[in-house]
Chain A
Amino acid sequence: MNDRFLVLPVRRIPPLGEFLHALKIKPTGLAAQLFTGVYNQLFVWSDDLRAQYDQYYCVEYPTLAAYLELTREVYLDPAELEKTHILAVESLGGVLEEAYDDNVWDTVVACIRNLEDGHED
């Protein structure tokens, strides 16, 4: 987590259904509504820094790592740099909001990690 935004490197973007299923949420109902918002924040409305690098910045910066460090102050391990998507989320709101005591950040991160591991297998 950067001071200004969250950085989430992932190998693949899970479909919404898979994301909800991994959280054991039925696709209808209030929980699905809430977590669709979470999904959108992380995977739909976020910026993919790798894609941006390929599209705009690879001329100016010799490597993705240099681009992330010099322009975004994002420092990633080589293993994370290899991931297909490096998502940047400007502000976490709703049930991810840090100031919200019962925020589900840890649960969501664990879920994404499981999905990543599962896909790797």
Chain B
Amino acid sequence: MNRDDHLNNIAKFAARMIHEIRALNAIGRFDINSVTEDFLIPIVKLVFDCPDLQNMNRVQVNFPAVDLGCTTTRISFQVTSDGSSGKILKTVEKFHEHSLSKTFDRLYVIALTGKQASYTAKSLERAIAALTIQFNPAAHVIDLDDVLVRMRHLETAKLEAIDHYLASGWAKRDSQVKFREQLDKFLAFSTEKIEVEKTSRKYIPTIFVETHSTKEQMRLFANPLFFYRKIQDKLRNFGYDHLKPSLRIAREPELVSEFDVGLLSAAPATFAELGVWLDQVDQAIGVELAKVRPLSWRRETGEARYEPVNPESAGWKIAQFRLESAASGLTSRLIDARALISLIRNKIFLITSMAGQGKTNFVCDLVENQFRLFEIPCLFIPARQLNGFTPGTRLFDYIKHNRYAPDGTKLHDYLTLFEQVAHDVEKPFIIVIDGINEVNDLISFNEELKAFCSAVSQYEWIKLVITCRSEFFDERFATILDEPFAVHIHRVNDLRSEMTKHSKSRLLNAYFAHFRISGSLRGSAKAFLANDLLLLRIFCERHEGSDVGHVTDIYKGDLFVDYLRKKIDSFPLEHRTSALPTLFKIAASMLAADDFSKLSVRNFTAQEQEVVRRFVEDDVILRQEVDSEGLAGVGNLAISFTYDELRDFIIAYQLVDLADAQQARALTEALAHLPGSPVYEGVFRYSYLLARRANKAAAIAACEAAANFAEHFSLNVHLLPPAVQTSEDVARVKAILSDASSARRRRRVALFLLHRHNTAESLNIALLIAHLNDLEDKGHVAFIQDIFGDLRDYDPLAWRRRVDKLVTDVGGDEGSRGLMQHTPEWLAFFLHAATHAGWMERERTSALFREAGGAVNSAKALMLVGPARATAVQLLLADIAASEVAMV
């Protein structure tokens, strides 16, 4: 072909480009403009002779005014399909506003679909006058015809390169158009599975709590051409300058960085360029590590330590620590950067974690919010749906079972297509397999999964994200880690995320919004639910769509009953009657087997097994466990309770339910047999509470006759609803307060009473005040010491310092106004405690009450404490009274 042939071809391709851009813009597909920016780079590089031209949006998202730029030749381009004066004006203004003349000397606007004949707007003239670079619309606003004119002056080799580039680009586009149309639908069908996860509430978007570090790793893994810059960030400013002074003191040779700074500004635009760049960076890191790591504390096993020229010199002794510390920091940076390179190169992102840590939420969020927004092609496979396909070819069949799937007879047909798609969009094709532990036949699936991973590993840009419960992985899938492709696995072992108070609060609000619950949480109810996500889930499902008012306390027993009722009501009619008995059967079987962590339901009836499967599917009441290996495990379903407290409640409920018929024999036996078992405390608590609420005399008697009942009573008294509190409970509480032999029990009950301000209830703060008033000097100080002390205190006077702190806190910044927020009963307790504070704090207490004057609550508090028998209290009251008199 000669020059004219090349020029004619290029003109045809350019005309087609203009036509396609106009057509796509006409139907609102403006995204084609940003695609064109990238497409034009190799052409503009040659035509304008700017070899380092790059897409500025890759350097910085939403880079202002210009799309393409070459910092070497200082030429920039705005690429637009809008050639109007308004667009040129806006570009010029933005260029000026962001002082881009510091980076570029020339600005061109490439109007893809044609420019105006002239640009004479006054506003544009004014904007151009403000520029510090030359800009002439006649010369600097160009269209593709102008580009073609410039091409005429290019040498033939460059014309041939452009012709070849355009020809291959259009050929690729033609071949892909049909498949891509289908592919979009194919992928859309796959991501519809996310909606299924939402409906089943395995994924609740608004209440998702991010695991930032894992998500960050995923960004490098799944979107390398966008996030590779993180590696540049990590290595920016890398150098040994701050080691120099110490090296001079130690009289050691200087370290000199050989790191090519050009690598930090490189902008690879294709997978091929990225691969080369990663190799270069990795090699450069290796060179620097060889220098600095021997001096650091992060040497590899067997790696020789840095040998100073004169290890005995004073200079080395002085500088050694500082040098090693700084070298360790630099080594860490290099190692971290290398870890990011590995993330990009890894092929399998394996997430294994305990149940309930949000694996499904994590991957669904990824697909919906990260992959979708970055247009990363992705196939989402909820592993439990593989159960509907033939073992051996489950994954292949699943992929094929999509009406938009292209024809394929073997797995590699699809993988080849996926690889092609990845290269087209320059983003990996991600296959997410969520919850491989939910596949029925784990042994055969392990082999199938290995074969699948092995096949995928043969493709450069197809990647897998796999999630699995850690105990299942360790038992059933761990051999994957022995396969050759295991070197490409990046494993995350823990998805838990620590939450601040703010985030917990945000989470509570999000849960309430998602479950359409109105009302508010206060005090212990809020703390309970914010710190126990499973309980929060149960609470929200129970109260979905309702107004809960102001909730200050959560009575778990009531909540469990209501929740179970609601859950069972949602079952099909034929399963409702057998649901609760099935749960009871599980409880009884666990008691009989004395194993509360796992139960096989092999011997359950078909209907019971169906009920179990429904509960397991929900994953809130029951969950699947790893069953035994070999023949014994075939077709078996092993389960456990998801929430330990709900398990204890159901066991207790069953025991109390039987109590009437059996004179509580089973309950008595269980309470005698269970001590030492992990369920004992919970089963006792709920048995007693349920018995008390239902007033089941035999069951109550069985609990009260159990060993160490007083201890259990003190642990659970706060859960006794006011309606069932009796004079016997009052007597028990008084007995515990009077029992000096158990400080912990006394403290527990005293603190419970301290927060019970409703004097209409049998158990309330008045009991505590009456008890304190009755105590003589010795007993009084011992009681206060018990309440403020701690068994772990080393300092025998630590309790007194806590009393001092209480006085300081109550006084606080608000002084006596701080007293106003407390009830008279609480202030009465405060007075009792303050009598054992230090001298300064007692003075402070007197001053607080004196300043409060005759405020109703403080006056009433003084009255409540009036009958106190302890001398110290009377002295404090006298001091306050004297002060008040003095004031008068």
**Does A28 lie at the interface of the complex (its beta carbon under 8 Å from any beta carbon of B)?**
no
The smallest C-beta distance from A98 to any residue of chain B, in angstroms, reads 18
The smallest C-beta distance from B327 to any residue of chain A, in angstroms, reads 16
The smallest C-beta distance from A104 to any residue of chain B, in angstroms, reads 20
B62, B369, B502, B503: the one contacting A60 at CB < 8 Å is B369
**Does B609 lie at the interface of the complex (its beta carbon under 8 Å from any beta carbon of A)?**
no
**Does A75 lie at the interface of the complex (its beta carbon under 8 Å from any beta carbon of B)?**
yes
Chain A residue at minimum C-beta to C-beta distance from B219:
A56
Cα-based distance from A55 to B500 in the complex (angstroms): 26
> Once the chains bind, are B62 and A70 in contact (CB under 8 Å)?
no
**Does B60 lie at the interface of the complex (its beta carbon under 8 Å from any beta carbon of A)?**
yes
> Once the chains bind, are A54 and B500 in contact (CB under 8 Å)?
no
A2, A55, A70, A75: the one contacting B60 at CB < 8 Å is A55
Question: 11 more A-B contacts (CB under 8 A) besides A56-B219, A59-B61?
Answer: A54-B62, A56-B61, A56-B226, A56-B229, A56-B230, A58-B62, A69-B503, A71-B212, A72-B212, A73-B499, A75-B502
**Does B374 lie at the interface of the complex (its beta carbon under 8 Å from any beta carbon of A)?**
yes
> Once the chains bind, are A73 and B503 in contact (CB under 8 Å)?
yes
**Does A3 lie at the interface of the complex (its beta carbon under 8 Å from any beta carbon of B)?**
yes
The smallest C-beta distance from B240 to any residue of chain A, in angstroms, reads 15
Chain A residues closer than 8 Å to B229, beta-carbon distance: 55-56
> Once the chains bind, are B502 and A54 in contact (CB under 8 Å)?
no
B61, B62, B373, B502: the one contacting A73 at CB < 8 Å is B502
Cα-based distance from A55 to B57 in the complex (angstroms): 9
Chain A residues closer than 8 Å to B189, beta-carbon distance: none
> Once the chains bind, are B373 and A60 in contact (CB under 8 Å)?
yes
**Does B420 lie at the interface of the complex (its beta carbon under 8 Å from any beta carbon of A)?**
no
Chain B residues closer than 8 Å to A70, beta-carbon distance: 210
Cα-based distance from A37 to B61 in the complex (angstroms): 32
Instruction: Provide 16 A-B residue pairs closer than 8 Å at the C-beta atoms, listed in order of the A residue.
Output: A3-B500, A54-B61, A54-B62, A55-B60, A55-B229, A56-B219, A56-B226, A56-B227, A58-B62, A59-B61, A60-B369, A60-B373, A60-B374, A69-B506, A73-B499, A73-B503
Chain B residues closer than 8 Å to A73, beta-carbon distance: 499-500, 502-503
The B interface, classified by DSSP as helix, strand, loop or mixed, is helix
Q: What are the interface flags for A1-37 relative to B under an 8 Å C-beta threshold, 1 for contact and 0 otherwise?
A: 0110000000000000000000000000000000000
* Interface residues in chain B, defined as those with a beta carbon under 8 Å from any beta carbon in chain A: 60-62, 210, 212, 215, 219, 226-227, 229-230, 369-370, 373-374, 498-500, 502-503, 506
Chain B residues closer than 8 Å to A2, beta-carbon distance: 500
The smallest C-beta distance from A26 to any residue of chain B, in angstroms, reads 19
Number of interface residues of A (CB under 8 A): 14
Cα-based distance from A59 to B226 in the complex (angstroms): 11
Chain A residues closer than 8 Å to B226, beta-carbon distance: 56
Chain B residue at minimum C-beta to C-beta distance from A59:
B373
8 shortest A-B CB distances, which residue pairs? A73-B500, A71-B212, A75-B502, A70-B210, A59-B373, A73-B503, A55-B60, A58-B61
Chain B residues closer than 8 Å to A60, beta-carbon distance: 369-370, 373-374
Chain B residue at minimum C-beta to C-beta distance from A70:
B210
Chain B residue at minimum C-beta to C-beta distance from A75:
B502
The smallest C-beta distance from A93 to any residue of chain B, in angstroms, reads 10
Cα-based distance from A77 to B150 in the complex (angstroms): 54
The smallest C-beta distance from A45 to any residue of chain B, in angstroms, reads 8
Within 8 A of B (CB), among A65-82: 69-73, 75
Chain A residue at minimum C-beta to C-beta distance from B370:
A60
The smallest C-beta distance from B229 to any residue of chain A, in angstroms, reads 7
Chain A residue at minimum C-beta to C-beta distance from B497:
A73
The smallest C-beta distance from A84 to any residue of chain B, in angstroms, reads 14
Chain B residues closer than 8 Å to A75, beta-carbon distance: 502
Chain A residues closer than 8 Å to B61, beta-carbon distance: 54-56, 58-59
The smallest C-beta distance from A5 to any residue of chain B, in angstroms, reads 12
The smallest C-beta distance from A74 to any residue of chain B, in angstroms, reads 9
Chain B residues closer than 8 Å to A58, beta-carbon distance: 61-62
Q: What are the interface flags for A41-71 relative to B under an 8 Å C-beta threshold, 1 for contact and 0 otherwise?
A: 0000000000000111011100000000111
B215, B230, B374, B500: the one contacting A59 at CB < 8 Å is B374
